[in-house]
């Protein structure tokens, strides 16, 4: 098995709605960018380029938002933005609304976040279609550079039972999201019963190790993943979503 290396790309300029993020990323990638590389991009810069931001001042909270905000000590305008992104509120407590987003992701505050927004009072939402965003970025980087790395769009999610956040893949193009070992033999030749590895989430987590939360380094290059990088964009991060009826914690 070959080694994997993880390196942050140089700081990017601040990105605004309508900016050509693929070109910005293509310019930041090293000269030896390769087809087998994986470009991991923090979702916030993707959301900003796509205009997926809202100003708190523009939001008129409704009754449910005001009630939840009062109960959980939150800004009612922020809660309204969360409800606008949420298909379902799974749990509320400890200052967090754990939601199912319209994409089927389960995360705190439906991914609506105030950290690292470009402006005070700005909320950053998740991309409308993160797998689509990943495919477009992959296409754009390939067009600009003549090399076609895989693209992963990452966000930091909390977890039940464990403290701290880890980055997970919310959008994927060109990387096998899930490596299925079920039915294949283990090191002793016996069938593995329950192993499939969330490759795209592990790549996202690895990328976060070289990124500081106070830096403008949203992009990380992960190399050595050639056996998981595919010419086709593949099923994307959608393949990582557990169906509700297969989930014991809904």
Of 148-167, binders to a copy of itself (CB under 8 A) are 156, 159-167
Rounded distance between C-alpha atoms, residue 180 and residue 162, angstroms: 25
Q: Please, what is the minimum distance in Å from the beta carbon of residue 162 to a copy of itself? A: 5
- Answer yes or no whether residue 232 interacts with a copy of itself by CB under 8 A: no
Q: Under the criterion CB under 8 A, does residue 94 sit at the interface with a copy of itself?
A: yes
Q: Write out the binding residues for a copy of itself, residues 164-193 only, by CB under 8 A.
A: 164-168, 177-179, 181, 184-188, 190, 192-193
214 binds a copy of itself (CB under 8 A): yes
* C-alpha span between 101 and 107 (Å, rounded): 8
Answer yes or no whether residue 64 interacts with a copy of itself by CB under 8 A.
no
Using CB under 8 A, pick the residue from 4, 67, 70, 143 that binds a copy of itself: 4
Instruction: Decide: is 249 part of the binding site for a copy of itself (CB under 8 A).
Output: yes
For a copy of itself, the closer CB: 8 or 136:
8
Mark residues 109-148: x for contact with a copy of itself by CB under 8 A, - for none: -----xxxxx-x----------------------------
How far CA 45 is from CA of 110, 115, 195, 225, 229, in Å, comes to 17, 12, 33, 24, 23
Work out which of 21, 33, 69, 108 binds a copy of itself, going by CB under 8 A. Answer: 108
Contact status, residue 95 vs residue 70, Cβ threshold 8 Å: no
211 touching a copy of itself, by CB under 8 A: yes
State in angstroms the smallest separation of the CB of 44 from a copy of itself.
10
Q: Dig out the tokens for 40 from the structure.
A: 């991991």
Tell me which residue of 113, 107, 102, 83 sits closest to 169, measured CA to CA. 107
Residues 6+ apart with CB under 8 A from 55: 119, 121, 122, 123
Indicate the Cα dihedral angle 115, 171, 175, 247, nearest 10°.
Answer: 100
What's the CA dihedral at 103, 54, 74, 249 to 10 degrees? 10
């Amino acid at each position: 098995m070959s080694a994997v290396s993880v390196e942050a790309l140089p700081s990017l300029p601040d990105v605004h709605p309508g900016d050509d993020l693929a070109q910005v990323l293509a310019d930041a990638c090293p000269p030896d960018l390769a087809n087998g590389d994986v470009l991991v991009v923090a979702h916030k810069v993707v959301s900003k380029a796509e205009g997926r931001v809202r100003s708190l001042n523009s939001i008129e909270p409704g009754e449910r938002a005001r009630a939840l905000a009062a109960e959980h000590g939150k800004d009612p305008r922020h809660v309204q933005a969360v409800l606008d992104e949420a298909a379902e509120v799974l749990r509320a407590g400890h200052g967090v609304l754990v939601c199912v987003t319209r994409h089927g992701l389960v995360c705190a505050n439906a991914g609506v976040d105030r950290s690292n927004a470009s402006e005070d009072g700005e909320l950053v939402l998740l991309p409308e279609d993160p797998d689509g965003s990943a495919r477009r970025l992959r296409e754009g980087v390939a067009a600009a550079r003549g090399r076609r790395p895989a693209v992963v769009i990452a966000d930091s999610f909390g977890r039940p039972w464990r403290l701290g956040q880890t980055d997970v893949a919310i959008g994927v193009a060109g990387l096998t999201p899930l490596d299925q070992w079920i039915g294949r033999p283990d090191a002793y030749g016996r069938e593995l019963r329950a192993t499939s590895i969330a490759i795209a989430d592990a790549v996202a987590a690895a990328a976060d190790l070289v990124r500081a939360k106070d830096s403008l380094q949203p992009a990380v290059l992960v190399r050595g993943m050639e056996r998981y990088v595919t010419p086709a964009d593949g099923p994307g991060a959608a393949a990582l979503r557990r169906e509700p009826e297969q989930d014991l914690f809904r």
